[in-house]
């Protein structure tokens, strides 16, 4: 089948057609023509005012499979990822059992060569993500794990963190850490500030993120290696990363797509769909994150996709679990963010940058290249509801609301998902 994408603006920095509006013909999983002609096709997509980029890559979505398949399993994750514009997703190791053996890596990554959405395994640094005993990281690397992290949990043990940096240098492996002092955040429900005091909720202070982040930067300086910080949320965290990069350290960082769009004032009615970790912060933090996106301090945008079933969310606020589903609404995050950050830069942070960091080939939009593509309509209006939602969970602050910005097609491995007329 020949599919013609007509009059799309190409955003792909490695492509000779970068920033140009062209017609793109796809046949048998490859790009066969790019130009201004109306090539003969079986299906034509009118892509005026749409963006065609390399397929989006998410660094760190949660899948409950194995162990919590009622929240999200591999099949539902692939469906919701495709609908969100992603052709590749790296999954966190916080499963049961955790991703700590060749079997778990193989279970997630089998059949990647034929999948529309390829699943990459982020393997556990410590057994059962408890921070106490290192996993066999060399074996996991050879089995196909692309990086190492304890995912939703911090690598809290200083000696374990240091040894991980040293151990991973044997194969130039990447350590990913979510910096959090679990004792400072113990029983915390939201950002510590005026709003938490007003609502009578235990706060999660900025220093609970900044203190371990600062410590881990110094450990990186001491031990060497490669380090990535995930889901940062405070102004000082971004400044610490910015300063460390100027010192020449090999580190990078990401934030979730929603962290600059939401703030702690939105918890006034105790809606548990706004309860996340790290918590939604204040306007000053949001402004600093936007600055970090614009000046390149923040390298990557991720979805922060963390599905929770009703039994975990439909509770009193202090009893509810943390998390937002955000793979399918990520395009709306980008559309809203594009008012403050160039869309070209945002696309780089979800296509080129994560793959480059992980040593994965970046898809190129050129003739006779494999079609690993996302077509994005920044102006498309739609509603996430019981009909459109493809996740097994519905813990989203946007559920039932009209939002703008949507991926309308993805292509990969000779397969496609289309949501266009």
Domain boundaries of the chain, sorted by first residue:
2-51+366-418, 55-358
Q: Are 219 and 244 in contact (CB under 8 A)?
A: no
Give the Cα separation of 222 and 23 in Å (integer): 51
- For residue 98, what pLDDT band results from cuts at 50, 70 and 90? very high
Give the per-residue pLDDT at 30. 98
Q: Is the pLDDT of residue 69 over 80?
A: yes
Mean pLDDT of 170-179: 98
Stated pTM of the model: 0.97
3-state secondary structure of 195: helix
User: Which H or E run includes 376?
Assistant: strand 373-383
Q: Are 177 and 154 in contact (CB under 8 A)?
A: yes
Give the per-residue pLDDT at 248. 97
Mean pLDDT of 161-188: 98
User: Which H or E run includes 81?
Assistant: helix 74-84
Mean pLDDT of 296-317: 97
Give the per-residue pLDDT at 419. 86
Q: Which CATH number fits domain 55-358: 3.10.450.50, 3.40.80.10, 3.20.20.140, 3.60.10.10?
A: 3.20.20.140
Q: What is the pLDDT of residues 245-290, one digit of tens each?
A: 999 999 999 999 999 999 999 999 999 999 999 999 999 999 999 9
Give the per-residue pLDDT at 120. 98
Q: Is the pLDDT of residue 381 over 90?
A: yes
Mean pLDDT of 361-383: 98
Q: Is the pLDDT of residue 420 over 70?
A: no
Mean pLDDT over all residues of the chain?
A: 97
Quote the tokens at residue 180.
Answer: 């959090």
**DSSP for 258-327?**
TTTT--GGGGTT--GGG--SSPP--HHHHHHHHHHHHHTSS-EEE--B----HHHHSS-GGGSPP-B--S
Query: Do β-strands 251-256 and 226-229 pair in parallel, antiparallel, or remain unpaired?
Result: parallel
3-state secondary structure of 372: coil
Q: Is the pLDDT of residue 216 over 80?
A: yes
Give percent above pLDDT 70 in the chain. 100
3-state secondary structure of 411: strand
CATH class of 2-51+366-418: mainly beta
Mean pLDDT of 310-323: 96
- For residue 309, what pLDDT band results from cuts at 50, 70 and 90? very high
**179 φ, ψ (degrees, to nearest 5):** -70, 120
CB atoms inside a 10 Å sphere around CB 141 = 19
Mean pLDDT of 373-401: 98
Give the per-residue pLDDT at 55. 98
Mean pLDDT of 210-229: 98
Going through 92-189 in order, the beta strands assigned E by DSSP cover 118-123, 147-149, 174-177
- Looking up tokens 């509810």 gives 320
Give the Cα separation of 374 and 409 in Å (integer): 6
**DSSP for 206-267?**
THHHHHHHHHHHHHHHHH--EEEE-S---HHHHHHHHHHHHTT--EEEEEETTTTT--GGGG
- For residue 39, what pLDDT band results from cuts at 50, 70 and 90? very high
Where do the H-state alpha helices sit in 11-60?
none
Q: Is the pLDDT of residue 421 over 70?
A: no
Mean pLDDT of 29-41: 96
Give percent above pLDDT 90 in the chain. 99
Mean pLDDT of 146-163: 98
Beta bridge partners, 52, equal: 10, 375
Give the per-residue pLDDT at 322. 98
Mean pLDDT of 319-339: 98
């Amino acid at each position: 089948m020949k599919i013609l994408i007509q009059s799309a603006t190409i955003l792909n920095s490695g492509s000779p057609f970068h920033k140009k509006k062209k017609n793109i013909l796809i046949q048998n999983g490859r790009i066969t023509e790019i130009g201004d002609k109306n090539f003969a096709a079986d299906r034509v997509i009118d892509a005026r005012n749409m963006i065609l980029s390399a397929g989006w890559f998410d660094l760190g979505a949660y899948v409950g499979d194995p162990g919590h398949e009622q929240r999200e399993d591999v099949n539902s994750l692939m469906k919701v990822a495709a609908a969100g514009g992603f052709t590749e997703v790296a999954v966190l190791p916080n499963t049961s059992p955790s991703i700590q053996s060749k079997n778990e890596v193989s279970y997630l990554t089998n059949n990647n060569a034929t999948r529309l959405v390829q699943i990459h395994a982020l393997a556990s640094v410590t057994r059962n993500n408890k921070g106490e005993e290192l996993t066999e990281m060399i074996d996991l690397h050879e089995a196909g794990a692309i990086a190492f992290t304890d995912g939703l949990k911090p690598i809290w043990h200083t000696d374990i963190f240091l040894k991980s940096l040293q151990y991973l240098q044997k194969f130039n492996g990447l350590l990913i850490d979510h910096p959090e002092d679990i004792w400072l955040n113990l029983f915390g429900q939201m950002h510590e500030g005026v709003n938490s005091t007003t609502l009578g909720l235990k706060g999660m202070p900025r220093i609970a993120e900044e203190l371990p982040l600062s410590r881990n930067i110094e450990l990186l300086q001491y031990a060497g290696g490669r380090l990535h910080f995930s889901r940062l949320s405070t102004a000082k965290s971004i400044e610490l990363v910015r300063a460390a990069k100027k010192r020449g350290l090999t580190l990078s960082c990401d934030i979730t797509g929603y962290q600059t769009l939401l703030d702690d004032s939105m918890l006034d009615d105790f809606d548990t769909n706004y309860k996340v970790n790290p918590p939604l912060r204040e306007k000053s933090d949001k402004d600093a994150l936007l600055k970090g996106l614009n000046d390149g301090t923040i390298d990557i945008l991720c979805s922060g996709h963390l599905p929770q079933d009703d039994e975990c969310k439909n509770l009193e606020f202090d009893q509810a679990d943390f998390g937002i589903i955000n793979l399918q609404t990520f395009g709306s995050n980008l559309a809203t963010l594009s008012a403050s950050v160039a869309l070209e830069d945002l696309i780089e942070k979800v296509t080129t940058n994560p793959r480059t960091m992980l040593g994965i080939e970046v898809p190129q939009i050129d003739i006779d290249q494999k079609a690993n593509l996302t077509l994005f309509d920044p102006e498309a209006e739609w509603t996430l509801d019981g009909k459109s939602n493809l996740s097994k969970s519905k813990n989203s602050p946007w559920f039932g609301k009209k939002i703008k910005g949507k991926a309308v097609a993805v292509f990969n491995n000779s397969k496609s998902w289309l949501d266009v007329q």
